[in-house]
Structures are given as C-alpha cells and as structure tokens.
Amino acid sequence: ELGKTVFDLFQKQDAAKLKPYLLAKSEVEKAFGSSEQFRSLTKKKKKIFVSSTYERNKEIGESWIDFYTGKDKETSALLKAGKYESTEAAERKDNGTTVARIVVRFNENGKLHIINLNAAKVKDYWKLLSWIEVK
C-alpha cells in the first residue's frame, strides 16, 4: 500500500504530501527501539541516535523527493506519465528492526521502470527511510 501511495504522489508531483511519509522524529525510537543495538545505548546516546537518524533521513529523503518532483525534469516527467503496474515488498529483520525493500513497477511509453524504496515498520504501519531511487 505504501509503494502505491508513494507512486501516486510522485505522479501528481506532490512533494508536500510525500514528505510526511518519511520517518518522523517521534517514530524513530518506535521503529528502531527493539534492536539490540538501540537497547544497549545509554539514555543520552539514544537521544543522539534518534535525533541524528531523523535528521539524516529527513535531509536525504526530502532531497530525493524534491529531485523526483521537479528538480530532475526528465525523471519527474517519466513519473508523471507512468502507468502503475505492481508493487512487491520483501520484509526482513535488520538487527531487530523490521524493514522492507519495496519495488514499485510502472510503465512509461512501453518501457518498464521501477521505484526502489526502503521502509521501516513503526508499530502497525510503515514509513519511508531515506533511500528513494527511480530506474
């Protein structure tokens, strides 16, 4: 569901609605809190981890969103004209954190393209991690 929603928003070139799908600061601990690495940190280091993880994810993720919603004219046009085909996701545990690689397939002018997304599970829903790639 997240992959299809992200594709639809890229098609509409709606960066403002895409950015809230990135992991929020309040969600970092919920997503990574069950990992052994996180649990082994001191309270102070946990705060630093949450803050730095959020800032890095926001900066990189928003850069990709801006890139694909106008800064890169060619890819933005490709996404806008594309026709959704399918979404595939592979869920796994990464040091105790549930993450997924999401692949969205779409067709533009007879050519198959993909959007690669990484996501983390936050309780019972998914949020995007910073890596967003259109091929």
Residue 94: predicted pLDDT: 84
Q: Residue 128 pairs with which residues in a beta bridge?
A: 22, 119
Confidence at residue 50, expressed as pLDDT on a 0 to 100 scale: 92
CA distance linking residue 3 with residue 101, whole number of Å: 10
The string of DSSP codes covering 36-79 is HHHHTS-HHHHHHHHHHHHHHHHHHHHHHHHIIIIISHHHHHHH
Mean pLDDT across the chain: 94
pLDDT band with cut points at 50, 70 and 90 for residue 74:
very high
Question: What pLDDT score was predicted for residue 106?
Answer: 97
What is the Cα–Cα distance from 46 to 39, expressed in whole angstroms?
A: 8
pLDDT reading at 36 higher than 90: no
Neighbour-count burial of 112, counting CB atoms closer than 10 A to its CB (0-12 exposed, 13-18 middle, 19+ buried): exposed
